[in-house]
Structure 1
Amino acid sequence: MKKLGHLNRDIARVLAGMGHTDSLVIADCGLPIPPGVECIDLALALGEPGFARVLDTVLADFQCERAVFADECRSHNPAVLDIAAGLMQHGVAVDFVSHAQFKQRCQEAKVIIRTGECTPYANVILHSGVIF
């Protein structure tokens, strides 16, 4: 049994296979999943597990160099905007794009991790950094 790192076997597999600049998405329960993009569905019930909790567990085991959020979170989801600010404080480059552009960029992701989050625009694209 794993002792450290992410315990979800599918997430651990994806993280282990990420290369520099590859991307993954952590999504609320309403974000559409593009055809051909793997979805790891963690949703149990509305709000469970939440976006912030899943993001924290992924970031504990993932080298992130850039994060992309929907611009609409600035006016519709202050909690997600606070998360973006926290990432910037930890040296992660943060970009904002329209929600339409965000959904297009999701097509390039290795995986979308679907949470039970049910607040608007609680989504992020994380781009892999390197540990050396």
Structure 2
Amino acid sequence: MKKHGILNRELAGRFAKLGHTDQIVIADCGLPIPDDVPCIDLSYKLGEPSFLTMLEVVLDDLVVESAVLAEEIKTKNAELSKTLTNTLPNISYVSHEEFKRLTKNAKFIIRTGETTPYANVILQCGVIF
């Protein structure tokens, strides 16, 4: 049994298969999930688990070199936007519509129970060396 890190079997297994430049999404409970992208649905009630809780766990386990956010987060969820600006490397912004299109390139999507607006991020994997 693992001693620390991601305990969820599906997440741990999928993380082990990721390579440089692969992308994953951490999503709120409202983001549409493309039919052909696997979804690991961790939501169990509104707000749980939170977006920030999952982001913290993921960033502790995964090397991330860049992130994509919806431009709308800056005005519609300014508090989260500020937190993410201080947490994530190399952030780029696209419209929410473009963000939804980009999720089709993800290896998988982690769905949270988050209910605040635009609490979604595309994370691009880096390398450990």
TM-score, normalised on structure 1?
A: 0.95
Aligned pairs for 1:9-88 (under 5 A) are 9-88=9-88
**Distance in 2, Cα, partners of 1:36 & 1:27:** 16
DSSP 3-state at the match of 1:60: helix
Aligned pair partner of 1:95 in 87, 92, 95: 92
Please say if 1:117 is aligned against 2:114.
yes
1:69-118 Cα deviation digits (max 9, x unpaired): 00000000123202321125xxx110110000100000000000000000
Count matched residues: 129
DSSP 3-state at the match of 2:97: helix
**Distance in 1, Cα, partners of 2:90 & 2:100:** 19
Unaligned runs of 5+ in 1: none
1:3-31 Cα deviation digits (max 9, x unpaired): 12211111111111111000000000000
Q: Which amino acid aligns with 1:73?
A: I
Please say if 1:130 is aligned against 2:124.
no
RMSD: 0.9
DSSP 3-state at the match of 2:61: coil
Question: Is contact 1:87-1:94 (8 Å) kept?
Answer: no
**Distance in 1, Cα, partners of 2:21 & 2:115:** 28
**Distance in 1, Cα, partners of 2:82 & 2:50:** 15
TM-score, normalised on structure 2?
A: 0.97
Identity %: 53
**Distance in 2, Cα, partners of 1:79 & 1:45:** 22
Cross-structure match for 2:5: 5
Q: Which amino acid aligns with 1:64?
A: V
